[in-house]
Amino acid sequence: MLPDVQASFRIFAAHVRKVNAQWSFPEHQHPMFELNLVLEGSQRMRVGDKHFVQEQGDLVWILPNEVHASLGAVDDTMMEYVCVHVEVTDPWFRQQLSQIGQIVHPSGSKLESLLRPILMDLAQIARENTSSGLSLKLQTMHASFRIFTALSEVLLEETVVSPHQISDSGLAAQLAGLIEEQASTLLQGQEPFRITSMAKELGYSPAHCNRVFHKAYGVSPRHYLSTIKLRQAKLMLIDPTLSIEHIAEQLGYKDLSQFSKQFKRWTNLSPTAYRHLSW
């Protein structure tokens, strides 16, 4: 039997931008992986405490929650780049991607060669932007599947961390697995979420477990459980035979109002509005 696979892979804020020498983007961070490819000119970048020049054709790979900034073009020239943010919720896949620690992948390198054609196509789609909303969404979705495939191909050729290895990344993967395993019980409110019981089972302190989980996945264990809740909520809302009151109860909320407020915080839509969009 092959393992069951359930992965959420989202392309977020993909864009192409041509800027002058006075442009820069301030220091920031986010919980997503970032791909940045310079199409023309050169870009001065800072990722963490590393300063470097990203030459034309170089691909920059930035891990979640890594502080970074663009310090502008080099030598008072114009510079054009394409940028894509990638959100991954599957804990094992996110952990494996986090093992790609190299920031700059020069033109001709494995990662750059696989991703450049996809990013170039995304840049062209963004430049033209003459397609209908449906066509534009389908083209972007097609590109996201290609990025998923390219990253998987890179990982298949790399040495990945064993989930049984006693290390911070291994511990984070074990925690994610426990959260997934216990999700059905936690969602139905049969017992509250407690990192302490999971930490005790694995033989570590709760503080250490919280720290290594956040480092590996960019979110806390409790926030990760929220992503499971959101995923289940969306799947249940697609089923018209389930009332929203029943869904709220199954997800462990005290009443419909509490569920509606939380779902709107997650998606900016009410459960009813999301259900109408899905039909």
DSSP string, 97-126: HHT----EE-TTSHHHHHHHHHHHHHHHHH
- Amino acid residing at 248: A
- Residue 2 falls inside a structural domain: no
Of 107, 137, 157, at which residue does a domain stop? 157
Of 129, 157, 185, at which residue does a domain stop? 157
Cβ 55 vs Cβ 90: under 8 Å: no
* Domain carrying residue 134: 9-157
- Residue 50 falls inside a structural domain: yes
- Residue 163 falls inside a structural domain: no
Q: Give the global pTM.
A: 0.66
- Residue 230 falls inside a structural domain: yes
In this structure, the answer to whether residues 39 and 151 fall within a common structural domain is yes
What local confidence, expressed as pLDDT, does residue 279 receive? 61
CATH number at residue 216: 1.10.10.60
Q: How many structural domains compose the chain?
A: 2
End-to-end CA distance of the chain: 34
What local confidence, expressed as pLDDT, does residue 188 receive? 54
Of 126, 157, 188, at which residue does a domain stop? 157
Q: Which secondary structure element, helix H or strand E, spans residue 277, and what is its range?
A: helix 271-278
Rounded average pLDDT per 10-residue block, the chain, 279 residues: 73 87 87 92 92 94 90 87 87 78 92 94 82 78 92 78 55 83 62 78 86 82 84 87 90 87 89 82
- Residue 149 falls inside a structural domain: yes
In this structure, the answer to whether residues 100 and 123 fall within a common structural domain is yes
What local confidence, expressed as pLDDT, does residue 116 receive? 95
- Residue 4 falls inside a structural domain: no
Q: Indicate the SS3 state at residue 145.
A: helix
What burial class does residue 266 get, using C-beta atoms within 10 Å of its C-beta: 0-12 exposed, 13-18 middle, 19+ buried? Answer: middle
